[in-house]
Amino acid sequence: MPTQMLRFVDTVRQMPEKRNVELRRSDFDEIFKRFQPDSAALQAARCSQCGVPFCQQHCPLHNNIPDWLLLTAEGRLEEAYEVASATNTFPEVCGRICPQDRLCEGNCVIEKAGHGTVTIGTVENYVTEVAWENGWIRPAAPVRERPESIGIIGAGPAGLAAADRLRRLGYRVVIYDRHDRVGGLLMYGIPNFKLEKDIVERRATWLADGGVEFDLNFEVGRDASLLELRDRHDAVLIATGVYKSRDIAAPGVGLGNIVQAIDYLMASNRKGLGDPVPDFDSGALDASDRNVVVIGGGDTAMDCVRTAVRQGARSVKCLYRRNRDNMPGSAREVEHAEEEGVEFVWLSAPEAFLGDETVAGVRAQVMRLGLPDASGRQSPQPIEGQSQVHDADLVITALGFDPEDLPSLFGDPALPVTGWGTVKIDWNTMMTAAAGVFAAGDIVRGASLVVWAIRDGRDAADGIHRHIESRRGESLPLAS
């Protein structure tokens, strides 16, 4: 084993320098600075090069993490990028927004042994940024052009990952999206302090330079039905994501200034992109000088509370019905939010919204935790007679997302969906019961992580390729 590795025995875990809290609160820039080359190499060298790498096993993409950490430690950064990108279409995105504490880093062997995990995500970012700066990331250049075309509905991570893989195989790829920019929730849902938009735009340009076509401001069902797209293409991939916000049922929910997380975040991101946003300019979706209460415990809730801080909210509280150990969001995001001044009210479930025409407060039931439910987390139970009132003149509900009614929206009542409204597929092929119609990402698995969407998109591309091969009677290799 190279002498560069196993440095965890004499080198402590160290993240890149974190920006000052007061500076972070005043802008939407990313909170971590970039590793310096020596620091990145040293932190990569802490890897123990496990025979059974649990980091890789717990990554949805099964990234070859120990291999590119070794190459980084040895200064072979172009090779490190090639290994990282072999399994991951967007390593710089996953390095920034994946909940590594729940996936690769949370299962690092030296972390389990008490030495502190390898900083996998930040090294991944470092390697990819060096690759961009040195021109090592090149657009797809297929060996030969194929006659078939693929239509992809949705320019989010699943659709983009599939497009890259299919384009490398030589297919003509057209991506349809109802928004005016590429990226889906990467562009409009995730705040800049986690993922700056030029990173998404850079990848969109890279795909376009490789021959992927984008048809934006295009709504399936308005501009063409799903059946019409099927006639245009040899296969169609549905990768729309899920955008329907879950509602909360409580007295007073119809009061003014109670808004959905997706509307709030999209307004903030569009404002940051320089778009006209009337609901932001009117103050309806601006947290400035307001008492903000965010309801929810996932990563979307964390995006909302941290955005509210940066917009200059007077106070920001997050109400969650379980405790810190049982929340679904990233523990690191909670830590960042607390540093920035967010108050977490654990074991608290809203039972009524107070006010006349607009919300003035939230009455919350105090909870306790009972036995674990189907998710493995302890189920919340109310403590009778105990409640608290929290001042609020802006309430943001971040309770998750459900699928839209795609059979109706797409003008195809025969599109098969599950009882939850997700598109029903054969997971072995990623194809629906309709021949040549595939689906991937949140629209098949429900609201999930970006890394799972990338995995599904790549798997769907492989399924599409096999389907077309079978129709042609050929046997061609999958994309590398």
CB 340 within 8 A of CB 193: no
CATH number of 7-133: 1.10.1060.10
Residue in this structure with the two tokens 């500076």, named with its chain if needed: 23
| Residue 324: partners with Cβ closer than 8 Å, 6 or more residues away | 331, 334, 344, 346
Confidence bin at 1 (pLDDT 50/70/90)? very low
Whole-model pTM?
Answer: 0.95
Domain boundaries, the chain: 7-133, 149-242+403-472, 247-397
CA distance 323 to 344: 10
Residue in this structure with the two tokens 């599109």, named with its chain if needed: 415
Name the helix (H) or strand (E) containing 453: helix 450-472
Give the distance from CA 186 to its chain's centroid.
7
Residue type at 358? T
Q: What architecture is the 149-242+403-472 domain classified under in CATH?
A: 3-Layer(bba) Sandwich (3.50)
* Average pLDDT estimate for 39-44: 96
Which structure tokens are listed for 24?
A: 């972070």
CA distance 328 to 377: 9
Which structure tokens are listed for 368?
A: 């306790």
Lowest mean pLDDT among 3-17, 171-185, 232-246, 292-306: 3-17
Q: What architecture is the 247-397 domain classified under in CATH?
A: 3-Layer(bba) Sandwich (3.50)
CB 323 within 8 A of CB 367: no
Residue in this structure with the two tokens 């729309």, named with its chain if needed: 240
Decide if 7-133 and 149-242+403-472 have a common fold.
no
Read off the pLDDT of residues 63-113 as tens digits, 9 standing for 90 and up: 999 999 999 999 999 999 999 999 999 999 999 999 999 999 999 999 989
Which structure tokens are listed for 284?
A: 């309806």
Strands lying side by side in the sheet with 343-345:
258-260, 394-397, 291-295, 315-319, 343-345
* Average pLDDT estimate for 326-331: 89
Read off the pLDDT of residues 138-172 as tens digits, 9 standing for 90 and up: 999 999 999 999 999 999 999 999 999 999 999 99
CB 8 within 8 A of CB 31: no
| Closest among 72, 78, 3, 85 to 39, alpha carbons compared | 72
CB 186 within 8 A of CB 155: no
Give the distance from CA 205 to its chain's centroid.
20
